[in-house]
Homo-oligomer: A and B are copies of this chain.
Amino acid sequence: MQNKRAHTLVEAVNVITDGMTILIGGFGGPGVPEILIDGVCELGVKNLTIVSNNAGTDKSGVARLMDVGCVSKLICTFPWAKESYVFKELYDNGKISLEIVPQGTLAERIRTAGAGLGGFLTPTGVGTDLAEGKKALTIDGKDYILELPLRADIALIKAHKADLRGNLVYHKSARNFNPIMVMAANHSIIEVSEEVPIGNLDPENIITPGVFVDSYFVTGQYKVGSGGK
Contacts and interface: CB of A to CB of B under 8 A. Distances in A.
B118 A144 contact: yes
A82 interface: no
Interface string A31-62: 00000000000000000000000000000000
Interface class of chain A by DSSP? mixed
A146 to B, nearest CB: 8
- The range of chain A's interface size is 20 to 34
Contacts of A202: 205
Interface in A114-148: 115-123, 137, 139, 142, 144, 146, 148
A65 interface: no
A215 B108 CA distance: 29
Contact of A139 (B139, B148, B170): B148
A183 interface: no
Interface in A83-125: 108, 112, 115-123
B121 A120 contact: yes
Contacts of A146: 121
Nearest to A119: B121
Interface string A167-183: 00111100000000000
Contacts of A122: 116-118
Interface in A141-163: 142, 144, 146, 148
Contacts of A108: 115, 117
